[in-house]
Amino acid sequence: MHPGQSFQTIGIISRPRRSNLVVVVPPLLKWLDSRGIQTLIDEETAECLPNGSKGLPRQRVADASQLLLVLGGDGTMLAAARLAAPRGIPILPINMGSLGFLTSFTLEELHPALDDTLEGRFSLSERVMISVELERATKVIETQRVLNDVVINKGALARMIELELHIDGAFVCRYRSDGLIVASPTGSTAYSLSAGGPIVHPAVESFVITPICPHTLSDRPLVIRDSSSIVMKLSGNTESVFLTLDGQRGIPLQPTDLVRVSRAKEPLKLIYPPKKSYFEILRSKLKWGEA
């Protein structure tokens, strides 16, 4: 709990074209205004308002906010995380999507969650962010932070990828597969899980490295400490091979490209329901124990 912390400016980021935002956002803005809270909305949220309000680019919303209220699913949450983490501002996520591992508050819990948060009655989970660099011809041409995963994968019609994995300077192996996933504990319930990787509790300081459809069946997922330095190097055929970040951005790769992965300095501060354990959320989302 954080009884000494108060939020005077809240930024709202939402999923574009989410039809029920028209019902949710206008009364929410009035509710916040009645409590003296300044609100900033992104351009996607503004499109849902009936009065032709103009929103701000998401980066400007994050720059001026003390808290980000995210209305949407995990995709919206991932985009907001990349803005919030380097600025050190927490996120209050409200699930308006379908699955929502990260957006653990329901829409019905929106106002009670806001009440608790504004009164300082909230719990924070610090989630590891991944720092990724793309190096080409000895020059870093791309630097990003992601919450879930860094993936090297092939296009739909491409042949198997060949790549080398190095951890802390030591050669691990050469993979022939459809791709390779490096996931944070938060991202262990995303693409990595679908590819056969383990579920890792967010408090475990680790990365999960999961091959996608490996040619050699003994190539299994690895769990390593998150202080490790990971390097993935392409070899062999690189036609139609992509570096995919959080499943939201794809960058075409070229022969001999290096992808360097490490733990980012700034974690994501995620507000979560204090009465829901991580395992309760897993049971709900994965339908554990249901016939």
Instruction: Give the pLDDT band of residue 291 (cuts 50, 70, 90).
Output: low
Average pLDDT score over the chain: 90
- Rounded CA gap, 72 and 80, in Å? 10
Q: Which of 183-197, 217-231, 238-252, 259-273 has the lowest mean pLDDT?
A: 238-252
Q: Which residues are catalytic?
A: 74
- Rounded CA gap, 146 and 266, in Å? 11
Q: Tell whether domain 130-263 is in CATH 3.40.50.2300.
A: no
Q: Angle formed by the axes of helices 110-118 and 21-34, to 10°?
A: 30
Task: Report, as an integer, the average pLDDT of 176-187.
Answer: 96
The string of DSSP codes covering 193-237 is HHTTPPP--TTS-EEEEEEES-SSTT---EEEETTS-EEEEEES-
The dotted CATH code for 9-127+267-286 is: 3.40.50.10330
Instruction: Give the pLDDT band of residue 1 (cuts 50, 70, 90).
Output: very low
- Rounded CA gap, 253 and 238, in Å? 7
Provide the phi-psi class of 48: left if phi over 0, else alpha when psi is between -120 and 50, else beta.
Answer: alpha
pLDDT digits (tens, 9 = 90+) for 99-133: 667 877 888 999 999 999 999 888 899 999 999 99
Whole-model pTM over 0.85: yes
pLDDT value at position 235?
83
Q: Which of 185-189, 277-281, 283-287: highest mean pLDDT?
A: 185-189
Task: Report, as an integer, the average pLDDT of 73-80.
Answer: 92
Exposure letters 148-170 (e unless 16+ CB within 10 A, then b):
bbbbbbbeeebeebbbebbbeee
Instruction: Give the dihedral sign, CA 193/187/280/220.
Output: positive
Q: What are the domain boundaries of the chain? A: 9-127+267-286, 130-263
Residue of 263 and 158 predicted with greater confidence? 263
pLDDT at 199 over 50: yes
pLDDT digits (tens, 9 = 90+) for 91-103: 999 988 666 678 7
pLDDT at 155 over 70: yes
- Residue 212, token pair as written in the block: 């996608």
